[in-house]
C-alpha cells in the first residue's frame, strides 16, 4: 500500500475548520467538498488518459481525455456520500457506484447492506470515498470486494486516518495494490474507535445529527 498524506496549506486550513465543533453542517458539507477536490487532484495524478484530437478556434491539436473504461467512484454509505460531489466535480466523466457497509454490533463483522456496482470491474480504476479511516475494517472489506469483482486498481480517498487503521490496512492488503490519500493521520483511536483529535462522527457532522 502507498500512503499519501497531502501536505498543503489549503488542505490543512480546510481540515482545521472541519475539526472545529462549532462548524455547522452547511459549512462542513461545503468544506468537505472543497477538501475532497484538493485530495482528488493529487489522487488522480496518474489516472489513465488517452489522446484526443480537439479543434480550437485556431487549429486542430492533440489533447487529453480520461481513458476507457472510465474510472469508477464508489462512496461508502453513509458518510462517503458527503465526498461524492467534490470527486465528481474533479472527474465529471467518471462513473459512480455505491457500497453500503456497516458493522454488525453483535458479531463485529462488516456487512454489505447495499451495493450498486457494475457486475464486472475488470480493468477498472476504482476510487473509494470514505471520510474516516478509523479501525480500517470497512475499507478493507470494500477493497477486497472490489478486487474480487475484478478491479485493476483501487485508490482510497479519506479525509482523516488513525495510525491503527493505516497499519491494519497495510497488513491486511499486502497482496493488493492500493493507494491511500489522506489530509492527515491523527494521534490514535479512543475506546469508542473515534479518531483523536479527529472531527467527530463524520456522518452526523455532514447530515446534521451532531449534538
To the query of whether residue 179 is one of the catalytic residues in this protein, the response is no
- Give the span between the Cα atoms of 195 and 160, in whole angstroms: 8
18: Cβ–Cβ under 8 A, 6 or more apart, which residues?
A: 28, 31, 32, 35, 159, 199, 205
Interface with ligand URA (CB under 6 A), residue from 42, 85, 95, 201: 201
Interface with ligand URA (CB under 6 A), residue from 100, 144, 170, 194: 194
- The residue range among 21-29, 60-68, 116-124, 194-202 that interacts with ligand URA, by the rule CB under 6 A, is 194-202
Grid coordinates of 14: 480546510
Rounded to the nearest 5 degrees, what angle is found at the Cα of 46, between the Cα atoms of 41 and 50? 110
Looking at residues 58 to 97 of the shown chain, list those that interact with ligand URA (rule: CB under 6 A). 79
Is 134:162 a contact under the CB 8 Å cutoff? Answer: yes
Positions that interact with ligand URA (CB under 6 A): 79, 132, 134, 194-195, 198, 201-203
Binding site members for 5-phospho-alpha-D-ribose 1-diphosphate: 78, 103, 130-138, 201
For the annotated catalytic residues, the residue numbers are: 103, 107, 201, 204
Amino acid at each position: 500500500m502507498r500512503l499519501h498524506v497531502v501536505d498543503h496549506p489549503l488542505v490543512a486550513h480546510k481540515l482545521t475548520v472541519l475539526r472545529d465543533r462549532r462548524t455547522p453542517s452547511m459549512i462542513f458539507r461545503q468544506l468537505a467538498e472543497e477538501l475532497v477536490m484538493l485530495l482528488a487532484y493529487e489522487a488522480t495524478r496518474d489516472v489513465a488518459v488517452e489522446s484526443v484530437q480537439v479543434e480550437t478556434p485556431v487549429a486542430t491539436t492533440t489533447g487529453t481525455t480520461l481513458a476507457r473504461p472510465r474510472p469508477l467512484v464508489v462512496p461508502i454509505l453513509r458518510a462517503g456520500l458527503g465526498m461524492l460531489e467534490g470527486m465528481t466535480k474533479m472527474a465529471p466523466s467518471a462513473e459512480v457506484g455505491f457500497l453500503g457497509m456497516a458493522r454488525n454490533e453483535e458479531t463485529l463483522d462488516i456487512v454489505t447492506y447495499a451495493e450498486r456496482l457494475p457486475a464486472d470491474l475488470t480493468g477498472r480504476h476504482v476510487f473509494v470515498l470514505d471520510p474516516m479511516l478509523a479501525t480500517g475494517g470497512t475499507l478493507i472489506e470494500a477493497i477486497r470486494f472490489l478486487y474480487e469483482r475484478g478491479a485493476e486498481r483501487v485508490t482510497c480517498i479519506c479525509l482523516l486516518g488513525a495510525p491503527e487503521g493505516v497499519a491494519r490496512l497495510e497488513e491486511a492488503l499486502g497482496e493488493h495494490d492500493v493507494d491511500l490519500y489522506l489530509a492527515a493521520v491523527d494521534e490514535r483511536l479512543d475506546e469508542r474507535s473515534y479518531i483523536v483529535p479527529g472531527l467527530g462522527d463524520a456522518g452526523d457532522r455532514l447530515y446534521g445529527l451532531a449534538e
